[in-house]
């Protein structure tokens, strides 16, 4: 009489199942786009910078200029004490670089149906350099008009584009993502 086998799986069967699960998880993770999360984080970074600039403008009763520098891929937050729009020795300045290789970019279409540019809207301040556009927040916390700024990944894929809308009267922000060929509002 042969010895009876206990019910269960052999070591080889168990290892085969674990390897199969690992391969399936690998395919699922490779299909995820971590660039989407990175671009969302950059929009949040810009939102926080604008909220902080507005709070500074109101509490210190000073005009604050937020420059979106496409050359250096960063934000420059300038407390403009003499209200001349230029960085002077008496002014305070801070820089916030974009993260994870993000850059300001011109999208295939704009949220506000304006001409193709990395920043659009009547609230955009011309600094004399087309790669350095800005918004100006007055001591009352308002801008002179609405503005939209666009960021994307270094990959240049249209799905990576994000748009930050800034409402002039309140400096309230909202953001959009570009997916499937059109803009979709994501969050206010």
The arithmetic mean of pLDDT across residues 111-131, rounded, is: 92
The count of domains in the chain is 1
How far apart are alpha carbons 178 and 16 in whole angstroms? 41
**CATH code of 92's domain:** 3.55.40.10
* pLDDT tens column, 45-60: 999 999 999 999 999 9
Mean pLDDT of 21-47: 82
What does the alpha-carbon distance between residue 178 and residue 181 come to, in Å, rounded to a whole number? Answer: 7
Does some domain include residue 22? Answer: no
| 60 within some domain | yes
Angle at 103 between CA 170 and CA 105, to 5 degrees: 75
Residue 138 lies in a domain: yes
- For residue 169, count other CB atoms closer than 10 A to its CB: 13
User: Does any domain span residue 29?
Assistant: no
How is the chain split among helix, strand and coil, in percent rounded to 5? 25, 30, 45
In the predicted model, is pLDDT for residue 157 greater than 80?
Answer: yes
Domain that holds residue 122: 34-187
What does the pLDDT read at residue 84?
A: 84
Q: Is residue 24 part of a domain?
A: no
């Amino acid at each position: 009489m042969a010895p009876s086998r206990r019910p269960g799986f052999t070591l080889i069967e168990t290892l085969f199942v674990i390897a199969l699960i690992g391969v399936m998880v690998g395919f699922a993770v490779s299909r995820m786009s971590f660039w989407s999360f990175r671009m969302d984080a950059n929009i949040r970074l810009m939102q926080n910078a604008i909220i902080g600039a507005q709070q500074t403008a109101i509490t210190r009763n000073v005009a604050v200029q937020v420059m979106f520098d496409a050359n250096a891929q960063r934000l420059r937050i300038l407390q403009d004490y003499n209200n001349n729009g230029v960085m002077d020795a008496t002014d305070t300045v801070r820089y916030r670089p974009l993260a994870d290789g993000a850059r300001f970019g011109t999208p295939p279409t704009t949220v506000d149906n304006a001409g193709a540019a990395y920043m659009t809207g009547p609230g955009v301040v011309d600094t004399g350099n087309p790669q350095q556009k800005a918004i100006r927040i007055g001591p009352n916390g308002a801008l002179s008009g609405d503005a939209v700024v666009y960021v994307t990944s270094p990959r240049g894929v249209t799905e990576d584009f994000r748009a930050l809308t800034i409402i002039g009267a309140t400096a309230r922000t909202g953001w959009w993502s570009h997916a499937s060929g059109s803009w979709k509002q994501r969050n206010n």
